Chains A and B, each alone.
Chain A
Amino acid sequence: MSVALTRDGDAWLSAAGGVRWVPVIGLEVHCQLDTRTKLFCGCAYRFGAEPNSLTCPVCTGQPGALPVVNAAALELALRAALAVGAEIASQTHFDRKNYFYCDIPKNYQISQLERPFCTGGGIELSSGKRVRLHRIHLEEDAGKAVHDRGQTTLVDLNRAGVPLIESVTEADISSPEEAHEYLTALREIVQYVGASAADMEKGELRCDVNVSVRPEGEELRAKVEVKNLNSFKSVKEALEHEIARQIEAYESGDEARFPVQETRLYDAQAGETRTMRAKEEAHDYRYFPEPDIPPLTIPSALVAEQRRLLPELPAARRRRYREELGLSDYDAGVLTQSRDVADLFETVARLSQRPKESANWISNEVLRAFSDPEIPAARVDELALRPHDLAELIGLVTAGTVNTNAGRTVLREMMKSGRPARALIGELGLEQVQDEGQLEQWCRAALAGQERTIADVRAGKTKALGAVMGRVMRASQGKADPRRVRALLLRIIGARE
């Protein structure tokens, strides 16, 4: 960037200009709903399957094929909408959005225009600012066009027909950071309520941005749409680049360079946005009500049921963990990273009556298990571990039956085999040695001949105990209670902490 810009709150300033530019940002997000089958046909969908292997006459737009609405898609859409506080319509219908491309088989997309299934809603950011939703609606996904394999464009229709909810915010967002936060919050919410797995790498969540800048307090200017954003990081970076680009263009004074309403593509490698189309013509989608699908009524009983199925949302949980359980911001964040983890934590905390220990064990040990090649699980619900058993283990460690290290070993075994703590402790012989006499014997043996260490410790260098403790632990095969060993050693040496 040729112009150096500084930030002051929401405003951006260049050294030269002196104008306070404020970005005006709106986000358009598509989430794939986590149903078993597509929106209008019974094809199952799986990311990464062989191209064109998950299709049927309906989702490939064969002549004569007809759509039939998947009830589960509506249910999940309702749940997501309720989670963001939207109001559910009593009646809704689908419309055809007509346009030509190689990845939409019928050359129209069945979507919603006039009567989407809900209105309103929004997401509150940590600053307290509420980003309002302009609309949320249901629609079918297109297939995938692959442009970078050879001389032609290749089309894979596996994804065609997968159910999506499209959510469009008002232009309430004022910075790349807010955009990032909004997306994080949205993803969290749809994951929590089970509406979408929202994994961006699998295309389950996609985002386009609309951004313009204006001098603080003045009229809105031309907004630019930016596409091809493949991660939340890209969204933030693309916004930073595009905002800077627009400011620079305006401040150049050259009207020919002023931003115009257009669509640009983000090039993550080059770190810039580029014009996608030479000339921007407003699309005429010729929407009309879908004649192949009768309208849907949404009974209040269905809405009530979906509302009942809503779990406590992550932001509320984090607040509760901080305020009621006394956990730190950081810990609360780690434990609410997914609904599975949060649910596990709450169950274990309740059963063990030890929230802080539960938090530690889960954050540090259970979550680490997912990168352990010997533990064949990628998610909490794939672990063989049962919350009841973890709660029991925590109790045993607190009571001193096993020491923490041994406890870790036991836990690993529990996660692999699903067997309860006591049995494993017995089998692995990890029961902590409590016998004062045995402990003292090991301690004295370890201290034998360690005059230098004894002198250091007496002189106040308690760190020197480390090596001796190591010898005791080895002698005891890890079964000595380290806290008592340390206390014993100090007593024997005659020193104080």
Chain B
Amino acid sequence: MSAAYARLDATALRASILAGERTCARTVAECLAGIDERDGELAAFLSVERDWARERAARLDARLAAGERPGALFGVPVALKANMCTEGIETSCASRILAGWRAPYTATFVQRLLDAGAIVVGVTNMDEFAMGSSSENSCAGPTRNPWDVARTPGGSSSGSAVAVAARMVPLALGSDTGGSVRQPAAMCGVFGFKPTYGRVSRYGLIAFGSSLDQVSPLARSVRDLELVTEVISGHDERDSTSLAEPPIEREHPAAPGSLSGFRVGVPREHFPHDLEPGVRACCEAALARLEAIGAELVPLSLPHTPFAIPTYYVVATAEASSNLARYDGVLFGLRAEGDGTLPGMMAATRAAGFGPEVKRRILLGTYVLSAGYYDEWYGRALKARGLMRDDFERAFEQVDVIAGPTSPTVAFRLGERVDDPLAMYLADALTVPVSLAGVPGISMPCGCALPADGGAGELPVGLQLVGPARSDARLLRIAAAFEAASEDLRREPPPGSAR
């Protein structure tokens, strides 16, 4: 992989193109070379759109030469998770049931990327229909963590996180429903940002949990997150749940070196006794770093945190059971004939097309909505959700941001949790409360640690920062301050080798 290409983040890449130091064509060539070099082992990509990317690069170069004003992401190679619709591109959600399905339209947020001059180079692997935390639920097989290829990169935006971490692309989009961008960001040592619910349009994001899903970017720098967030965010008339607000602009001043005056809440429930020691150590050190640049740490409580996992899984699976009902062999996707009747065909199609985790969640979701069980399960979960949002709102009366580990553990081994769905769900314990409340959250690399399972190499740890609703620009600037003050804590993954 070209060292120059690997070193530049999206902001620098664009600047370099505009300064005439490189062309889009060369950038795409280097990007594709990097993918060729690394992706055989890592399996981040489900498909690579070589011809399309090359043609687009050539056209962008010509337009720049003709004096056209370059967009905010001009010439930047970007990867999209396989649940994001781009017209004519296979968008399978890593599921057999949508294998070969070419989206008939382009998502609003993808169009905004394209309008800003980005070059979509490929579609990344994910847990099927975004259900999972490890990529092991993909029908195409798992993606591997570049830090240790025997381990998971996290999920469900696994491929997008790895594509950025292994420097195949500087920017990728994932989707975060209960932590699906923040957690893989933490496990791969990159930045992942979930905006306030409603700040980025969901039109064209294939739905899993409608009231939780958010398009969320992954990058190697905070300024890149700010760059892409400004491009994709802002009201969309095609999404009734998108906030009536303009795109999120970077706040000024450019980089607050000091966080003096800022209060950082530390919830005791996010430092449970069974937190991996390495994760605890890294996060405590990161908190100390925040203090060192002027922040005041304030211990607090988010008392409903222990109920977050049940609440999340009841709400998310209920919505999913309804959102995935359309996959039935009638209008698009896979079809299995079954017993030749209409209901038989639908049942057989869904049995053949969905993987075990998806089936599990559809069944759970159907159950919690069914007659006689609604009040006990879904009804209660909706109320519990409100209480969780209240926890955050109350906390934000005292503090500006909340900080804690993104994930209770570092990357675990592939195969370790596949037979224990509940263990897999618990990986999300620290990220789902944020999703339930609809507030913004970011995971930032804050060092490496040894895993508790005896593995030999150190693995990335992520610190999560959470802000009040609609404080996205402020949250990103606080993250930038931490980024500037913690460069020594960040490391590069190994350049690529089999273990």
Q: Which residue of the partner chain, among B211, B326, B342, B369, contacts A106 with CB atoms under 8 Å?
A: B326
> A43 CB to closest chain B CB, in angstroms?
13
B239 at the interface (CB under 8 A from A): yes
**Chain A: interface secondary structure?**
loop
- In the bound complex, do residue B342 and residue A292 qualify as a contact, i.e. CB atoms below 8 Å apart? no
Q: In the complex, which residues 96-114 of chain A have their Cβ closer than 8 Å to any Cβ of chain B?
A: 96, 98, 100-102, 105-108
Within the assembled complex, what's the spacing in Å between the Cα atoms of A67 and B242? 12
Q: Which residue of the partner chain, among B105, B207, B328, contacts A57 with CB atoms under 8 Å?
A: B105
Within the assembled complex, what's the spacing in Å between the Cα atoms of A153 and B202? 34
Which one of A16-24, A58-66, A446-454 contacts B?
A: A58-66
- In the bound complex, do residue A62 and residue B237 qualify as a contact, i.e. CB atoms below 8 Å apart? no
Question: Which of chain B's residues have a CB closer than 8 A to the CB of A282?
Answer: 371
Question: Which of chain A's residues have a CB closer than 8 A to the CB of B239?
Answer: 66, 68
Q: Which residue of B lies closest to A108 (CB)?
A: B322
Q: In the complex, which residues 60-106 of chain A have their Cβ closer than 8 Å to any Cβ of chain B?
A: 60-69, 96, 98, 100-102, 105-106
- In the bound complex, do residue B203 and residue A65 qualify as a contact, i.e. CB atoms below 8 Å apart? yes
A488 at the interface (CB under 8 A from B): no
Question: Which of chain B's residues have a CB closer than 8 A to the CB of A67?
Answer: 240
> A453 CB to closest chain B CB, in angstroms?
79
Within the assembled complex, what's the spacing in Å between the Cα atoms of A13 and B239? 59
Question: Which of chain B's residues have a CB closer than 8 A to the CB of A374?
Answer: none
> B358 CB to closest chain A CB, in angstroms?
14
Question: Which of chain A's residues have a CB closer than 8 A to the CB of B319?
Answer: 291
Q: Which residue of A lies closest to B211 (CB)?
A: A291
B6 at the interface (CB under 8 A from A): no
Question: Which of chain A's residues have a CB closer than 8 A to the CB of B71?
Answer: none
Within the assembled complex, what's the spacing in Å between the Cα atoms of A62 and B203? 11
- In the bound complex, do residue B202 and residue A288 qualify as a contact, i.e. CB atoms below 8 Å apart? no
A200 at the interface (CB under 8 A from B): no
- In the bound complex, do residue B85 and residue A63 qualify as a contact, i.e. CB atoms below 8 Å apart? yes
Q: Which residue of the partner chain, among B206, B318, B342, B370, contacts A284 with CB atoms under 8 Å?
A: B370
> How many residues in A have their beta carbons less than 8 Å from beta carbons of B?
32
Q: In the complex, which residues 275-334 of chain B have their Cβ closer than 8 Å to any Cβ of chain A?
A: 318-319, 321-322, 325-326, 328, 330-332
Q: How large is the interface on B (under 10, 10 to 19, 20 to 34, 35 or more residues)?
A: 35 or more
> A124 CB to closest chain B CB, in angstroms?
37
- In the bound complex, do residue B326 and residue A63 qualify as a contact, i.e. CB atoms below 8 Å apart? yes
Question: Which of chain A's residues have a CB closer than 8 A to the CB of B207?
Answer: 63-64
Question: Which of chain A's residues have a CB closer than 8 A to the CB of B374?
Answer: 286, 288
Within the assembled complex, what's the spacing in Å between the Cα atoms of A472 and B177? 92
Q: Which residue of B lies closest to A107 (CB)?
A: B325
Q: How many A-B pairs with Cβ below 8 Å?
A: 97
- In the bound complex, do residue A62 and residue B369 qualify as a contact, i.e. CB atoms below 8 Å apart? no
Q: Which residue of B lies closest to A155 (CB)?
A: B330
Taking A100-B343, A291-B319 as contacts, is the C-beta distance between A66 and B331 under 8 angstroms? no
- In the bound complex, do residue A286 and residue B328 qualify as a contact, i.e. CB atoms below 8 Å apart? no
Question: Which of chain B's residues have a CB closer than 8 A to the CB of A102?
Answer: 330, 342
Question: Which of chain A's residues have a CB closer than 8 A to the CB of B100?
Answer: none
- In the bound complex, do residue B325 and residue A66 qualify as a contact, i.e. CB atoms below 8 Å apart? no
- In the bound complex, do residue B91 and residue A61 qualify as a contact, i.e. CB atoms below 8 Å apart? no
> A283 CB to closest chain B CB, in angstroms?
9
Within the assembled complex, what's the spacing in Å between the Cα atoms of A286 and B238? 26
Question: Which of chain A's residues have a CB closer than 8 A to the CB of B91?
Answer: 63
Within the assembled complex, what's the spacing in Å between the Cα atoms of A294 and B438? 15
- In the bound complex, do residue B370 and residue A286 qualify as a contact, i.e. CB atoms below 8 Å apart? yes
Q: Which residue of the partner chain, among A108, A286, A293, contacts B240 with CB atoms under 8 Å?
A: A293
- In the bound complex, do residue B322 and residue A64 qualify as a contact, i.e. CB atoms below 8 Å apart? no
Q: Which residue of the partner chain, among A63, A69, A153, A155, contacts B98 with CB atoms under 8 Å?
A: A63
Q: In the complex, which residues 282-306 of chain A have their Cβ closer than 8 Å to any Cβ of chain B?
A: 282, 284, 286-288, 291-294
Within the assembled complex, what's the spacing in Å between the Cα atoms of A62 and B332? 8
- In the bound complex, do residue B105 and residue A66 qualify as a contact, i.e. CB atoms below 8 Å apart? no
- In the bound complex, do residue B326 and residue A61 qualify as a contact, i.e. CB atoms below 8 Å apart? yes
Q: Which residue of A lies closest to B318 (CB)?
A: A288
- In the bound complex, do residue A63 and residue B325 qualify as a contact, i.e. CB atoms below 8 Å apart? no
Name 24 A/B residue pairs within 8 A (Cβ), A-sorted: A63-B85, A64-B83, A64-B85, A64-B103, A64-B206, A64-B207, A65-B105, A66-B241, A67-B240, A98-B321, A98-B322, A98-B369, A100-B346, A105-B330, A106-B325, A106-B326, A108-B325, A155-B330, A286-B322, A286-B369, A286-B370, A291-B210, A292-B241, A293-B240
Interface residues of B (CB under 8 A from A): 83-85, 91, 93, 98, 101, 103-105, 107, 202-207, 210-211, 237-241, 318-319, 321-322, 325-326, 328, 330-332, 342-343, 346, 366, 369-371, 374, 378
15 more CB-based (< 8 A) A-B contacts, given A64-B107, A64-B207:
A62-B104, A64-B103, A64-B204, A65-B203, A66-B202, A66-B238, A68-B237, A68-B240, A100-B343, A107-B326, A107-B328, A286-B366, A288-B378, A291-B210, A291-B319
Which 5 A-B pairs rank lowest in CB-CB distance, beginning with the nearest? A107-B325, A286-B369, A291-B210, A291-B211, A63-B206
